[in-house]
Structure 1
């Protein structure tokens, strides 16, 4: 596919491979977005159309130069070796970014956020990067509202994500935002990855897995997912796990990185989004099916999560709703 000619109907994603790029993360956009049944066209470029060294013991050769960036609907900047992180952009990188068309969506993974910050694209914006680099990032880019405790930050036309697996999360988030949860879930199944991890989930959990998994909270979480329509309480979950309230709350935070209450709300919102996309159920009916007390409660939680009303969300994926829906 030539740089200047997009596939009909496809959203073009151009991945910029910089010197020292991490091979795993370099391949994430192609692997995840490429599994969305032709909805995305993925190109990879370098700043000079030459091969780049990875942070492993090999180099990669790509088919495109920086001109491809000017044709992108979305640009992705994967991470690169921390030894190559700088406060100022190298001339070649600055020139390449200057080719990005106005209005293009820009996404970074891990150290890619340093590139966006050095280019001034994150000034005054919320952003994240790998938690181990937070102190350096803050010192170099004090104008950025850095949050190193989340997996990714969606600030509209600019998204930043943390290390490694969060690149999967942010790419699945792109699919979900562009095409809805059903498509994103199919992509996740193809790629054999979790279909959804909220961007606000903690990057780093000190004790992610209990020494004895049988004594963890996973079974209680699965039990809750099958009963989201019920008015579940912390006591219900603790009883299912055969733990005291205090022990269950502590274990849950250790394993999931958030409180049981917050987790339940996230699961209910996720289920509500799926029903808004895939059914004609009224908002009040959906609220009942996912365990919110009323349609008003669903509206509040959905707006807090993604900033839109249920009807606006449904309209995005299914066109104008029927009257009263």
Structure 2
């Protein structure tokens, strides 16, 4: 392990879901630098560690580290505990857990993330007050009632508030981890991790598409054909009418069905895909910003900069300076 590896601590509690713990190790463990070096070091810790922790399965997991790993970490991830989370209230964290989180995050340098109902822990510690957050869709109503100072977004797969991130149900932890890898090391490294683990590098839409609803009418057909066509024509000035025509739907029906399937409006989805395309071009080519804007479908460098800063938080030039050398 190189001394420059980003340090990730996973805080497990009784009732942890093994999948949530495993996906953190699998994804961050698969991230490699240009020379094949590991980019992350991941440690599993528990407040009572080292020792065995109950899971929601018929086997325990062994935590090799105690709470001191939280102070060691650059990123702390809190998976769900089905034994504890939904009983938590504002300021109601068990004292050992509250002290551990205080020690882990004394300033703005440590990144904190939750998977599934692990968001209840961050909210009970007051870390989500005044912020957007998400959790599993089955728990969003309870979460919103319990923590009214948190703005709950029930439709998304994850929320990135800078230093603090939250994700939806356990599989959304994959999306969250890939997002953090992409923010740390660029799209090429994140895409390589996704290929190694055979998962999509970026899943469309949010958890809105998984919320239980009445079965849609037979007339509702998939918009996937239109999305695939749009992926091949991102450089063109696409209109909502053109997209609807690809799906053989009226604009109104297409708009409604698209949101049901992806959790986004067609134009929101199109902007996201164009930003993703611009990121790939900035990392993998020496194209000018004007050419990147044209090939990604933004038309002008000014339009690219506006949408890129809104989505990524930095200018295209700053992004390239950071990630141009981080390609696998």
Provide the TM-score with structure 2 as the length reference. 0.88
Instruction: Give the one of 195, 203, 207 matched to 1:203.
Output: 207
Superposition deviation, residue 80 in structure 1? 1.1
Superposition deviation, residue 211 in structure 1? 8.9
1:11 aligns with 2:6: yes
Q: Unmatched 5+ residue regions in structure 1?
A: 1-5, 320-325
Equivalents in 2 of 1:33, 1:260: separation in Å? 32
Structure 1 stretches of 4+ moved >4 Å: 206-212
Please list the CA deviations of residues 159-186 of structure 1 after superposition, one character each: whole Å capped at 9, or x if unmatched: 1111112111110011100000011111
Equivalents in 1 of 2:243, 2:147: separation in Å? 43
Give the alignment of 1:1-325 within 5 angstroms.
7-37=2-32, 38-49=38-49, 50-81=51-82, 84-85=85-86, 86-87=88-89, 88-100=92-104, 102=106, 103-197=109-203, 201-205=205-209, 215-318=221-324
Q: 1:241 to 1:141 in 2, by over 3 A?
A: closer
Q: 1:84 to 1:318 in 2, by over 3 A?
A: closer
SS at match of 1:277: helix
Q: 1:139 to 1:240 in 2, by over 3 A?
A: closer
Equivalents in 2 of 1:46, 1:25: separation in Å? 15
Please list the CA deviations of residues 90-126 of structure 1 after superposition, one character each: whole Å capped at 9, or x if unmatched: 1232232233153211111111111111112222222
C-alpha contact 2:123 2:147 (8 A) present in aligned 1: yes
Q: 1:165 to 1:211 in 2, by over 3 A?
A: farther
Superposition deviation, residue 276 in structure 1? 1.3
Equivalents in 2 of 1:119, 1:83: separation in Å? 14
Q: Unmatched 5+ residue regions in structure 2?
A: 33-37
Please list the CA deviations of residues 118-152 of structure 1 after superposition, one character each: whole Å capped at 9, or x if unmatched: 11222222222222222322232222232222221
Please list the CA deviations of residues 231-274 of structure 1 after superposition, one character each: whole Å capped at 9, or x if unmatched: 22222222222333333323222222222121111111110011
Equivalents in 2 of 1:208, 1:307: separation in Å? 38
SS at match of 1:111: helix
Equivalents in 1 of 2:207, 2:177: separation in Å? 16
Equivalents in 2 of 1:98, 1:237: separation in Å? 49
Equivalents in 2 of 1:277, 1:66: separation in Å? 38
C-alpha contact 1:66 1:99 (8 A) present in aligned 2: no
Task: Between the two structures, name the one with larger relative contact order (CA 8 Å, sep ≥ 6).
Answer: 2
- The two structures, once aligned, show a CA RMSD in angstroms of 2.4
Equivalents in 1 of 2:117, 2:258: separation in Å? 30
